[in-house]
Every structure is written in C-alpha cells, then in structure tokens.
Chains A and B, each alone.
Chain A
Amino acid sequence: MAKKPEPKTNPEKPVEATSPQTLGDYLASIRAIRKLKLRDVEEATNKEVSNGYLSQLETNKITKPSPHVLHALAKAYVIPYETLMQKAGYLPASTSPAPQVLRSASTPQHGRVPTFANEPLTQEEEESLLEYLAFLRSRRGKSGKSQ
C-alpha cells in the first residue's frame, strides 16, 4: 500500500480562512498550503475521495458533498471537520434564522441529538431531550451505573 503523504505544514495548527470563501475555494487553498497533489489526497483518504471528485469540489462544480467526504478530507488535511461542515452549510446555528426561513421554536429540525423517532423533534423538544439525557448521564456518574 502506498505511504500516505504527510502534510507539509504544521499539522497541529488548523488553517483558517481569512475571508468568506466557498467550500471549494477553501479546500483548494488548504491543499495549496499543504503542497499536495490531487492524487496525494486520493491516497491520503484511502481513495474515499477520488482526484476527479476533489477537483470538482475545488472548482465548485460540486457544492454539497456527503459528510463522510468532508470527514476524510479533514483527516487528510488535519483541519477541524466542523469547519468543513460549516462551510458546506451543514451546521446552521440552532438559534439563528436559517436562510430565508425564520426558524421558530416549533419548527421541526431535529439535528443535535441522534435519535430514532417517529417524527422530527422541534428545537424546543430537542433541547429538553438533551437536558434529560444530561440528567440521566449524571445519575450514572453518581452511582457508577444506571439506577
């Protein structure tokens, strides 16, 4: 198996965009800083992201890649996965209005806690559930096991 190429810059220091960029522009700038070829990234992601796909991402021909692609790229570039998810528009702040649609407390969205549910939770319901899960977790913490 081919050895994964090492990042050429300090891997501990995440590279942040200095101005609003598209996801594609951001990915292209990171790859340039890392001095990696498209094929290097394909190898570094164990072929999860092909060079052709990455090229289309960087030229904004593909703007909505699957999160698993972003995860693989974040690992290869040693940058925070959340940054890429944010740049792809997959992490709108739960308390800020979504583009064009003002999100109310009762709008179904259901995107902070993984559940198996028969219908989506509203923001308010999800926050209550998160608090309840934290409460259940704290009970385990006190006793060392569930009570």
Chain B
Amino acid sequence: MAKANDYLLPDAQRALIQKHAKLALERAGAFGVFPTPIDEILDASKLVVSDDDLADEGLIAHFRRKAKAAGQSLRRAINKVMGALDAVAKIIYLDRTLHVAKIAFIKLHEAGHAVLPWQRDIYSHTEDCEVTLAPEIAEEFEREANTFAADVIFQINKFTEEANQYPFGILVPVRLSKRYGASIYMSVRRYVTESHRACMVLVLEPPKIAPGGFSAEMRREVASPSFLQQFGPLSWPASFGPDDEIGRIVPLYGRKMSRPREITLVDRNKVQHKCVAEAFTQTHQVFILIHSVATLKRLTVSMTG
C-alpha cells in the first residue's frame, strides 16, 4: 500500500513553518551558500549534534549494565529510531550508519522539533512529565518537522527557481540534489510538489523477479497541486510489471534510466491527456516522473441494449 503524504499541512500552517525556516536560514547567513550549511544552521539555532552514535553497541552495553530494566525494549527502540532530540538539553542524536544525505535531513527534521516554538515548549514538558502527546498531534508534529527540514535544505524557493531554469525532466532534481546536499529522493519530491506543471512522481520499490518477469511495488505517489486539481487522486495498482504501461518504463539489468515514453492519463472530467513518463533509479527505489503535455479527447461511453 502506498504511504500517506508525510508533508501534508494546511496552507496557513505551511506558511508559518516557512517563516521559521527562513529565520533559521537568515540567522546562519545560509541563503545562497551551497550545499546548504546544515551545521552552521544548527549552531545558529543553538543546537548541538552529539558525537555519540545512537546505535553504538558499546554505549548501549554500558547503559544496560547501569539500567538493568531497559533490556530488549531499548534494543527495539534503537532499531526503529534514526534520530532523536533531547529537547531539554537541545542535543540531536543520530544513527551514524545512515547515508550522509539522510543524516542531513534528519538533523534538520530534529531541528524543526527544537525550533518551532509550539513543539519545543511541549516536548520540554513531555520529556520530564508523565504525559504524552496524542498520536494525531505527534503525527502533525512529524509533518511539520519534515516540512521545516525541506524548506531549510532547499532554501525556501531557491531550489525551485533554479530547477525552473532547465527543461523539465528527471535529471534536473537528480543533479541539483548534490548542489543542495539533499538526497535524490527528497529532491525529486520537492521538484514535483513545488512545480507549477501538472506532474507527479511514482516511487516504486526496486523490481523483484516474479513469475512472468518482475514486480515493482508502489511505495509512494506525490503530485503537484495542479496535477491533483486536474486529475484528482488516481488509482494506481499496488505493483507494476512488464505487461503494464508504467512497468515497461522501469529500468532493468543495471540501467539507471529509461527514455521518456508517452502514456495517456484520464482527468477528472474524463478527458484524455498525452503525458510523458520517464524513469530513474539509484537502486534503493525507482522514480517514475510523469507530466502532462497535451489534451487529447473526451472519453465517450456508449450505452447499448
């Protein structure tokens, strides 16, 4: 099943997060500095990143000798957690085995929890008291922290302005990802969500050999606002294979890309649109970027009998 949108926020809330992201960038003098200087931003926000690796076996063993009760529950927690914030001490802890671009995002995600005042003030309270946030609020805070991290790393509109200088295509965010110090995954999502075009990206799991060829499961779909307005939520299959239009675009046998191909999508008003789909993979996932290029014709349904 495709994952839910973990950035979705109402417009007013989105604007408020952007205001705080802009302040964080300004405090560090980070606008126009590439890649986005994350450590300077954290420093200017009075946050410290611990040298301790959250998943360090020696540290865990040391702790378990002192706190016998922790046992397996800490092990399970560490297996789930890639980053954590000590809100009172303003220290960020990381799983340092992760990819450098992932670490950059997690640092800024945790910074979001510490910088957004309504989050910082309540986490300082929950950390010390026997109260916990309601699950729906904890989830909202995660979406806010994701949005803050993306706004900072892409320097609000700078990434989008730069991307718009090139002809539309999957290689634009791939190449810009290095310049901003962001992951390809994050850059492709940003490219689509901030685009004025009717476009979307399907993120698929790497293809697995299956009867009849291969199967690539859908992980996530992300669309631009104008795509959603025009096409609405489309019902994609849970997985793709060699016999379907999207599956045929999936790069195989070590190839990183597939050439752009025409596909047809039907919008909310049953009008067909010629679209172009192209794919890129860096082995962890497959991106299928789709954008609408021309309106074709209205579908007609003939009733017989």
The residues of A with any CB-CB pair to B shorter than 8 Å are: 48, 66-68, 70-72, 81-82, 85-86, 89-95, 108-133, 135-137, 139-140, 145-147
CA distance A122 to B60 in the complex (A): 19
The residues of B with any CB-CB pair to A shorter than 8 Å are: 10, 13, 16, 50-52, 59-60, 63, 66-67, 70-71, 73-74, 76-78, 80-87, 89, 91, 93, 106, 109-110, 113-114, 116-119, 121-123, 125-127, 130-135, 137-138, 140-141, 145
- Whether A116 and B83, one on each chain, are in contact in the complex, defined by CB atoms closer than 8 angstroms, is yes
CA distance A73 to B91 in the complex (A): 28
Question: When A67-B119, A116-B109, A146-B51 are in contact, do A111 and B140 touch as well, CB less than 8 Å?
Answer: no
- Whether A70 and B118, one on each chain, are in contact in the complex, defined by CB atoms closer than 8 angstroms, is yes
Count, A-B residue pairs, CB within 8 A: 166
Question: When A119-B80, A146-B51 are in contact, do A90 and B134 touch as well, CB less than 8 Å?
Answer: yes
- Whether A90 and B77, one on each chain, are in contact in the complex, defined by CB atoms closer than 8 angstroms, is no
Closest 8 pairs (CB-CB, A-B): A111-B133, A71-B118, A114-B113, A125-B77, A111-B132, A94-B132, A128-B74, A116-B83
Contact pick for B52, options A90, A120, A126, A146, CB 8 Å: A146
Least CB distance, A80 to chain B, in whole angstroms: 9
- Whether A140 and B50, one on each chain, are in contact in the complex, defined by CB atoms closer than 8 angstroms, is yes
- Whether A71 and B121, one on each chain, are in contact in the complex, defined by CB atoms closer than 8 angstroms, is yes
Contacts of A125 in B (CB 8 A): 73-74, 76-77, 80
Most buried by A among B76, B132, B133, B135: B132
Contacts of B51 in A (CB 8 A): 145-147
Task: Name 28 A/B residue pairs within 8 A (Cβ), A-sorted.
Answer: A67-B122, A71-B121, A81-B121, A90-B137, A91-B134, A109-B135, A111-B135, A111-B138, A113-B85, A114-B114, A114-B119, A114-B141, A114-B145, A115-B82, A116-B81, A116-B82, A116-B110, A125-B73, A125-B76, A128-B70, A129-B84, A131-B63, A131-B70, A132-B78, A133-B84, A136-B93, A137-B89, A146-B50
Q: A82-B122, A117-B82, A146-B50 are in contact. List 10 more A-B contacts (CB 8 A).
A: A67-B137, A71-B118, A89-B134, A91-B122, A94-B132, A125-B74, A132-B70, A136-B86, A139-B52, A147-B51
